[in-house]
Structure 1
Amino acid sequence: MNHALKPAFCAYRLLIRCSCWLQPLVLLMLRLWIANVFFSSGLTKIADWDVTLALFTDEYHVPLLPPAVAAVMAACGELGLSSLLALGLGGRFAAAGLFILNAVAVISYPGLTDATRQFHYFWGSQILVLLAFGPGLLSLDAACKRWLSRRCPAAGDC
């Protein structure tokens, strides 16, 4: 190896080691942040159910679903899926569900401003990161996989 490149190569290897160490923390923070956004929205929905039903009847135009059904599905999805995401239990499933909820929100609410639409796009892109990389090592999914691989070594191949 060229001696002039050796310091750059060592710095690069250090950067890779640090990023591998940081990845589980970054995925945990991302899961918790996204979960908080959707869980807070779900809490708002159940705080005043009459207002929620009125919004789903008059403002939100969820395709193919009656307003009351859409309201229940949205509240349950936001509360349940965000809880699963925060725990990292069924992490990719939870992320997929929240991605769909987010997409339906963008489609069904014509009153979104450009700024609020950008928030939804931002959340959607972050959810896609969780779909692509999974919930990470600091999750119940990873803990279950470790436990299963100790109990049944062939299960670790899945």
Structure 2
Amino acid sequence: MNALLCAALRAFTDPGLAPTRLPASLGTLTSHLQSLALLGARLYVAQVFFLSGLTKLRDWSSTLALFQDIYQVPLLPPVLAAWLGTSGELVLPVLLVLGLAGRFAGAGLFVVNLVAVLSLSADDLSPAAQAQHALWGVLALAVVLWGAGRWSADRLIRAA
């Protein structure tokens, strides 16, 4: 019991710089929990962006007006920015849910999120909205850094 407690303490305080030597059962549990957390992050971020893309698609004239008048996407004409943003919000979440090209999808949604934040003026982004965008960015970045996890098409492809 003492060895298990020491191993758990090491695992919780490990900065991640070197591989942690955990007892096999604790290592397996940690691996499953990490994959569950990544799956949750993938599903949550995918839902947020996919629903946003559907909203833009439902009222395309309003979407174009938003990109022309409110969203100031740097370096891109408003119509192209609207097409790219909406396409990214519809295609990348599907990849993220499947865990297919998970790191790519996470990176793509991180960029979409970053461009959304940078294209709005500070007055248009409330503190609550800033917190939501920060959460979405961190979750997307987690998928970029650790991959889609055990329950993903990427894992199935790699195992084949």
1:123 aligned onto 2:136 = yes
**CA deviation profile, 1:6-47 (whole Å, cap 9, x unmatched):** 452476645443222222222111111110011011001001
Instruction: Give structure 1 stretches of 5+ with no counterpart.
Output: 148-158
| AA at the equivalent of 1:57 | Q
Judged with a 3 Å threshold, the aligned counterparts in structure 2 of structure 1 residues 57 and 20 are, in CA distance, closer, same or farther, namely: same
Distance in 2 (CA, whole Å) between partners of 1:142 and 1:85 is 13
Question: Following superposition of structure 1 onto structure 2, how do residues 38-53 of structure 1 map, counting pairs within 5 Å?
Answer: 38-53=49-64
Instruction: Give structure 2 stretches of 5+ with no counterpart.
Output: 10-22
Q: Comparing 8-17 with 52-61, which one deviates more in the overlay?
A: 8-17
Identity of aligned residues (%): 47
Q: CA RMSD in A?
A: 1.7
2:5 equivalent in structure 1: 8
1:19 aligned onto 2:30 = yes
1:84 aligned onto 2:95 = yes
Judged with a 3 Å threshold, the aligned counterparts in structure 2 of structure 1 residues 146 and 50 are, in CA distance, closer, same or farther, namely: same
Distance in 1 (CA, whole Å) between partners of 2:127 and 2:33 is 33
Distance in 1 (CA, whole Å) between partners of 2:7 and 2:118 is 49
Runs (4+) off by over 3 Å = 4-7, 9-17
Length-normalised TM-score, structure 1: 0.84
Distance in 1 (CA, whole Å) between partners of 2:57 and 2:112 is 16
Distance in 2 (CA, whole Å) between partners of 1:17 and 1:89 is 23
Distance in 2 (CA, whole Å) between partners of 1:146 and 1:7 is 31
Whichever of the two has the greater Rg, that structure is: 1
